[in-house]
Amino acid sequence: PVDPDAMFKQGFLDEVYKLRPSENVVTRFPPEPNGYLHIGHAKAIAVNFGFARHHGGVCYLRYDDTNPEKEEEKYFTAILDMVEWLGFKPYKITHSSDNFQKLYDLAEKLIGMGKAYVCACQDEEIKRQRGGEKGETPRYRCAHADQSVEENLTKFRDMRDGKYKPREVFLRMKQDISDGNPQMWDLAAYRIKTDTPHHKTGFDWKIYPTYDFTHGVCDSFEGITHSLCTTEFIASRVSYEWLNKNLGVYEPMQREYGRLNLTGTVLSKRKILKLVEEKHVRDWDDPRLYTLIGIRRRGIPPGAILEFVNELGVTTNITTIPIHRFEQSIRKYLEKTVPRLMMVLDPVPLVIEDAEELELDVPFSPKDPKMGSHKVRFTPTVYIDRSDFREVDSKDYFRLAPGKSVGLLHAPYPVKATSFTKDESTGKVTEIRGVFDKELKKAKTYIQWVGTAGSRKVEARIHNPLFNSEKPDDVEGGFLKDLNPDSEVVYPDAVIESGFDEVKARAPWPEAAGESELGKGGPESIRFQGLRVAYFAVDSDTTDDKIVLNRIVSLKEDSNK
Ligand code: ATP
Ligand code: MG
Ligand code: MG
């Protein structure tokens, strides 16, 4: 088994710790509540919560909610759900907005120090101040930068009191425009926003702090020791440090790791919204999406995601992984953790004329006796998969055909087909008849079957990649032109053996890996391997009358089952 803490013991994250060894590590996961989390965020969660846990510290869940136009209440709950689903418990749940007053006071303090000013310049002018489009002209400051402290304070309070319209003025930090880093070129600290109520403070505030003003200061308030973020913030490290230093507050250390990206899918909120609105997928939690709610619904265990992130390790490089590699990792995890059952996707009855009803004792796993066993009723009529029968035999074919025998997993003898009937209008085989082939000691192939007693009918949904290419965004006409028409194949009449009830009663699977409390109660935690078919989990569309299953992953790469 993979050491769940391996990624903290060496490499980048170990270096980060050594730069600031702390007895009381404090980290934070700071999502903006403006959308559902995706697979990339699982890495951020694993890194921040995991780093704290490994060093015996704590991690905050901080909603970075300074942008009322984009944020919605439903995302707050969804984000916390995912953190808990991955097995982490926030030390405290905080909001950047909890600090609006303190942030405001610090902004006044900065103004008082002559380190911030209220500016009325508009975009074009600001661009020129920053050296033009390509930095072709010298940088300079506008006259607003020379306003007195009193003037800036008056104007800032007027901003607060709604005496300006949005975009008319904004508060800028007075940093160092001679520095080569654009993050030092007098960044915005506060902007006026009056149109949308904030989910916590309503219309109390007419001004909102920017990311650059908020993030480091909130880190400081919470006593964050190691502020871990992604590499697009490398350039921001100087402004992060500049602000806390100038304010004279506690200084956390920011370090940056590489994002996790998946190819063969889209993660951007705008694009997923389009897929949902145009009904290419069922919803934001569609199992074909790589939102965390989609991944959960599909049945991928949280432990498998953590193991995947851990295996990739953490460096400053952006990790770009094709979907099939992600699936390979999930498959490996399921292989050792979930029970096996027999199910048939496209059933056709096989009547074995000389068979009698039998009770068989079948292990849930051929390799792991701890999983135990269960009773399976063998009946004289069993369902087998249509794809395991051929009307005309051939030499290189080793499953069932007239005159040919095939093994039935766990059954007493192989079966030889003697005849079959066909519906002439559809051309489909409706029944196969056969007898036990008692002479044959060992069949070349063993197929799965489901008896008529105790078995259940289920709807099985087989998910294939949503897109045809590795880079849907690069396809001419955009990602919507790259949709795979066969991304969901439904088998409405699949059947599953009675052992399903026990697997259901014993969920969540895996029972191992200390995951037994995780995802308790969720239908997706009822997971199993359908022998010779695929890995499956129960879908949330399941009702008392109807079981719906999702394929988690195929048994092998490139298999279409
Ligand atoms: P997106 O636009 O994809 O939602 P974001 O950067 O806006 O991403 P936030 O809500 O700000 O997302 O994310 C919270 C944390 O998760 C941030 O620290 C961010 O760096 C991290 N994060 C976001 N995407 C990834 C990713 N693909 N890999 C690793 N960490 C990520
Ligand atoms: Mg985001
Ligand atoms: Mg963001």
Q: What's the pLDDT band for 512 if we cut at 50, 70, 90?
A: very low
- What pLDDT sits at residue 509? 78
pLDDT at 330 over 70: yes
The closest alpha carbon to 118, from 108, 128, 132, 131, belongs to: 108
Rounded to an integer, what distance in angstroms lies between the CA atom of residue 136 and that of residue 149? Answer: 32
pLDDT at site 521: 62
- Residue 514 has what pLDDT? 43
Per-residue model confidence (pLDDT) at position 520: 58
Report how far ligand 3's centroid is from the alpha carbon of 33 (Å). 9
Q: Which ligand is nearest to the CA of 268?
A: 1
Q: Helix (H) and strand (E) counts for the chain?
A: 14, 27
- Mean pLDDT in residue range 333-355: 96
Average pLDDT of the segment spanning 132-161: 96
Q: How confident is the model at residue 50 (pLDDT cuts 50, 70, 90)?
A: very high
Whether 358 shows a pLDDT value over 80: the answer reads: yes
How much is the average pLDDT of 65-81? Answer: 92
Would you say residue 186 has pLDDT above 60? yes
First and final CA of the chain: distance in angstroms? 27
H or E segment at 8? helix 6-9
167-180, pLDDT tens digit by residue? 999 999 999 999 99
Give the position, in ligand 1's atom list, of the atom nearest the Cα of 267. Answer: 3
pLDDT exceeds 80 at position 559 = no
Query: What pLDDT does 513 receive?
Result: 44
Question: What CA–CA distance (Å, rounded) separates 499 from 338?
Answer: 13
Reference 95, options 48, 37, 33; nearest CA is 33
286: helix, coil or strand? coil
Please tell me the distance from the alpha carbon of residue 229 to that of residue 232, in angstroms, as a whole number.
8
Residue 560: predicted pLDDT: 53
Q: How far is the CA of 79 from the centre of ligand 3 (A)?
A: 14
CA 31 to ligand 3 center in whole angstroms? 7
CB neighbour class for 207 (10 Å; exposed up to 12, middle 13-18, buried from 19) = buried
Q: Residue 1's pLDDT is what?
A: 60
What residues are paired with 117 via a beta bridge? 172
Is 32 assigned a catalytic role? Answer: yes
For the entire predicted model, the pTM comes to 0.94
What is the rounded CA–CA span in Å between residue 374 and residue 209?
Answer: 61
Residue 44 CA: nearest ligand 1 atom is 30
> Which of 483, 485, 489, 537 minimizes the C-alpha distance to 510?
537
pLDDT at residue number 558: 73
Q: How far is the CA of 266 from the centre of ligand 2 (A)?
A: 14
Contacts of residue 47, Cβ cutoff 8 Å, sequence gap at least 6: 7, 13, 228, 257, 309, 314
Ion ligand 2 residues within 5 Å by Cβ: 32
Atom of ligand 1 nearest to the CA of 261: 27
Label residue 331 by pLDDT band (50, 70, 90).
very high
pLDDT tens digits for 446-492? 999 999 998 999 999 999 999 999 999 999 999 999 999 999 999 99
% pLDDT > 70, the chain: 97
Whether 259 is a known active-site residue: answer: yes
Please name the amino acid found at residue 21: P
Nearest residue by C-alpha to atom 18 in ligand 1: 229
Residues with CB under 6 A from ligand 1: 30-32, 35, 40-41, 43-44, 229-230, 259-261, 267
What values do phi and psi take at 139, rounded to 5? Answer: -80, 150
Q: Which of 130, 157, 206, 259 is catalytic?
A: 259
Looking at residue 511, what is its pLDDT? 58
For residue range 233-259, list pLDDT tens digits in order. 999 999 999 999 999 999 999 999 999
Do 222 and 60 meet the contact criterion of CB atoms below 8 Å apart? yes
- State the Cα–Cα distance between residues 432 and 85, nearest whole angstrom: 46
Per-residue tokens: 474: 């690069």
Distance CA(252)–CA(93), nearest Å, equals 19
Whole-number average pLDDT of the chain? 95
